């Protein structure tokens, strides 16, 4: 089966700065993908490249087997909700649905109005007078009613209160289950939200893909190993250390491995998705800080005595 999103060496540069670099990935169909990473990591850039709003500086990206945004047919197969859940403030809810029907050949009129009724939205209400949660739900309704094979969501719940966020995620789960093979990519900083709805993880940090795969498989491959203080070299062979901490007489390592786990005075703990994501983000933050410190030291050496 052709990957829904496939990229090789993908990169995007803005004014000399790489927002995304050396991105290689393959996302299978039928997944709800959690896209995570710190601010500025390249998440929005990747989503905008996937929907055709941006063009790569380097590498290639294919979406549903074609170049993103390559003609009306390709555009109709992809739905996109940007970070600010854009709607037209001066148009009513009903105006938005009529506009969607005119511009999308596969528009599901009944599904759109059914969702509006379920959400309790007044079709006569101007979008500019809706709450943030209602605007997000309207934007999702518009994207879903075009019946896309791929739905891209760029932090749509970032500004919502917990109740509105839960309602939005419930709607998203319903949408995912309406058609077999439908794929959703959801960018969010709230890992608990992703745990609730996602079955595939894509982690971007430092403008690069750091981790990708089914959530259950990734969690099953990672462990926290705690024991008396010692170096990482004391761990059994075949363990990739993601993060290590040493406090007093204790050492804790987060590792990725398929090798047999250590016994004796080691304690082995399972991770949840949040533990896993934070371990990689903390590792990359420390690596970045070390790099910056090294650069500063080199610059001081080059300047010579003051």
Please write the tens of the pLDDT for every residue from 112-169: 999 899 889 999 999 999 988 889 889 989 998 999 999 999 988 777 788 888 888 8
Neighbours of 90 (CB within 10 A): 9
Quote the pLDDT of residue 146: 93
Question: Nearest to residue 273, comparing CAs of 207, 220, 205?
Answer: 220
pLDDT per position as a tens digit, 65-84: 999 988 888 889 999 998 87
Which of 257, 209, 250 is CA-nearest to residue 20? 209
The pLDDT assigned to 78 comes to: 94
pLDDT reported for residue 181: 84
Round to whole Å and give the CA distance between 146 and 102. Answer: 11
Mean per-residue pLDDT of the chain = 87
Return d(Cα 144, Cα 168) in angstroms, integer.
12
Give me the domains of the chain, ranges plus CATH numbers: 5-206 (3.40.50.300), 221-303 (no CATH)
pLDDT value at position 193?
Answer: 87
Residue 184: C-alpha distances to residues 28, 150, 153, 160, 251 (Å):
11, 6, 8, 20, 39
Long-range contacts of 135-139 (CB under 8 A, 24+ apart): 135/85, 135/87, 136/81, 136/85, 136/160, 136/164, 136/168, 137/167, 137/168, 137/171, 138/85, 138/87, 138/93, 138/96, 139/81, 139/85, 139/86, 139/87
| pLDDT by residue, tens only, the chain of 306 residues | 578 999 999 999 998 899 999 999 999 999 999 999 988 889 999 999 999 999 999 999 999 999 998 888 888 999 999 887 788 999 999 999 999 999 998 999 998 999 899 889 999 999 999 988 889 889 989 998 999 999 999 988 777 788 888 888 888 888 888 888 899 999 988 898 899 899 999 999 888 899 999 999 999 999 999 999 999 999 989 999 999 999 999 999 999 999 899 888 999 999 999 999 999 998 877 655 443 333 333 333 323 322
- Write out the two tokens for 200: 């595939």
Predicted confidence at residue 166, as pLDDT, reads: 86
Question: How far is residue 190 CA from its own chain's centroid?
Answer: 10
Q: Which two tokens stand for residue 37?
A: 């990473």
β-strands 58-63, 200-205 pairing? unpaired
Closest CA to 186 of 207, 161, 210, 165: 165
**How big is the CA angle at 79 (ends 184 and 106), to the nearest 5 degrees?**
115
Q: How would you classify residue 50: left for phi > 0, otherwise alpha for psi between -120 and 50, otherwise beta?
A: alpha
CA-CA-CA-CA dihedral for 39, 198, 86, 147, to nearest 10: 150
Are 240 and 255 in contact by the 8 Å Cβ rule? The answer is yes
In the prediction, which pLDDT does 295 show?
Answer: 36
Q: What is the per-residue pLDDT for 286? A: 62
Q: What is the DSSP letter of 233?
A: G
User: Rounded to whole angstroms, what are the CA distances from 136 to 65, 128, 139, 143?
Assistant: 29, 12, 5, 11
């Amino acid at each position: 089966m052709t990957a829904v999103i496939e990229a090789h060496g993908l990169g995007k540069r803005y004014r000399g700065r790489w927002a995304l670099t050396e991105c290689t990935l393959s996302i299978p169909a039928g997944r709800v993908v959690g896209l995570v990473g710190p601010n500025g990591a390249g998440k929005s850039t990747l989503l905008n490249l996937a929907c055709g709003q941006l063009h790569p500086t380097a590498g290639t990206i294919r979406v549903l087997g074609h170049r993103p945004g390559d003609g009306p047919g390709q555009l109709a197969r992809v739905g996109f909700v940007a970070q600010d859940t854009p709607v037209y403030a001066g148009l009513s809810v009903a105006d938005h649905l009529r506009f969607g029907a005119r511009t999308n050949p596969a528009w599901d009129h009944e599904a759109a109005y059914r969702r509006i009724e379920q959400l309790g939205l007044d079709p006569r209400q101007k979008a500019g007078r809706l709450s943030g949660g209602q605007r997000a739900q309207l934007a999702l309704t518009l994207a879903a009613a075009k019946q896309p094979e791929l739905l891209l969501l760029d932090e749509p719940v970032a500004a919502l209160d917990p109740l509105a966020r839960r309602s939005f995620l419930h709607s998203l789960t319903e949408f995912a289950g309406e058609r077999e093979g439908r794929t959703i990519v959801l960018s969010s900083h709230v890992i608990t939200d992703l745990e609730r709805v996602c079955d595939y993880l894509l982690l971007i940090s430092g403008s690069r893909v750091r981790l990708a795969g089914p959530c259950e498989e990734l969690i099953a491959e990672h462990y926290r190993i705690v024991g008396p203080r010692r170096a990482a070299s004391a761990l059994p062979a075949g363990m990739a250390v993601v993060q290590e901490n040493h406090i007093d007489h204790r050492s804790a390592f987060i590792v990725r491995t398929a090798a047999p786990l250590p016994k004796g005075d080691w304690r082995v703990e399972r991770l949840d998705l949040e533990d896993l994501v934070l371990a990689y983000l903390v590792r990359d933050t420390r690596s970045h800080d070390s790099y910056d410190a090294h650069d500063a030291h080199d610059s001081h050496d080059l300047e010579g005595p003051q």
